Amino acid sequence: MEAATVEQLDLLLPQTQCTRCGYAGCRPYAEALAAGQADIDQCPPGGVATVTALAALLGREPKPLNPAFGAEGPRKIAVIDETVCIGCAKCLPACPVDAIVGARRQLHTVITAECSGCELCLPPCPVDCITLLVTTPATLPLATLRALAGRYRSRFLAHTARATARVRQRAERLAARGRPETGP
């Protein structure tokens, strides 16, 4: 049996980029799986369906999720309490799928149809006005997970491209002024 590629493994992952597996995102986890450095039971958003799919691809026995990485559960979305939000914009760069809209000193809101429930916007909020709302009664079937993953992947790639362009443009502006790049 040929070794599974990073691309094949990444295609099976939910693409929320939540980091609950202990890696910086879905692709880094796929890279660790391909290198034999991670186990197949580390992705709570993917749940048992994803563990089973990874096991099949890698020719291993399925196993339960490792509770050390969290539990499988219903899908959630983030909701911002606009009566508390101070418009600091600290949540914006944290969202891997650009599901939060708003500008500095303005109220922010979540585009619920695009939110993956990754929870990455919660820690940066200085006034704790983001909460998670359960939107599905139970765990999601693999077909739904795959459909959502395709959407999240596209938005994450666009988010990454925009962030990379911003860093490059800032470096170019500083270089034009004769100053070295000193940080984000």
Which one of 14-22, 56-64, 160-168, 172-180 is the stretch in contact with ligand SF4 (CB under 6 A)? 14-22
Q: Which one, 53 or 118, has the nearer CB to ligand SF4? A: 118
Binding status of residue 75 toward ligand SF4 by CB under 6 A: no
**Half-sphere exposure (Cβ direction) of 99: Cα atoms closer than 13 Å:** 26
Minimal distance in Å, beta carbon 121 to ligand SF4? 3
- Amino acid letter at 133? L
Q: Which one, 103 or 175, has the nearer CB to ligand SF4? A: 103
Q: What is the DSSP code string of 127-167?
A: T--EEEEE-SSSPPPHHHHHHHHHHHHHHHHHHHHHHHHHH
Place of tokens 């597996």: 21
Place of tokens 């999720």: 65
Neighbours of 46 (CB within 10 A): 30
Minimal distance in Å, beta carbon 176 to ligand SF4? 31
Interface mask toward ligand SF4 for 25-64; x: CB under 6 A = xx--x-------------x-xx------------------
Q: Which one, 86 or 174, has the nearer CB to ligand SF4? A: 86
Minimal distance in Å, beta carbon 55 to ligand SF4? 15
SS3 33: helix
CA distances from 120 to 6, 16, 51, 127 (A): 24, 10, 23, 15
Binding status of residue 86 toward ligand SF4 by CB under 6 A: yes
Angle between helix 47-58 and 142-176 (nearest 10):
90
Among 38, 58, 110, 140, binds ligand SF4 (CB under 6 A): 110
Minimal distance in Å, beta carbon 181 to ligand SF4? 26
List of residues contacting ligand SF4 (CB under 6 A): 13-14, 16-21, 23, 25-26, 29, 43, 45-46, 78, 80, 85-91, 94-95, 97, 99-100, 102, 108, 110, 115-121, 124-125, 127, 129-130
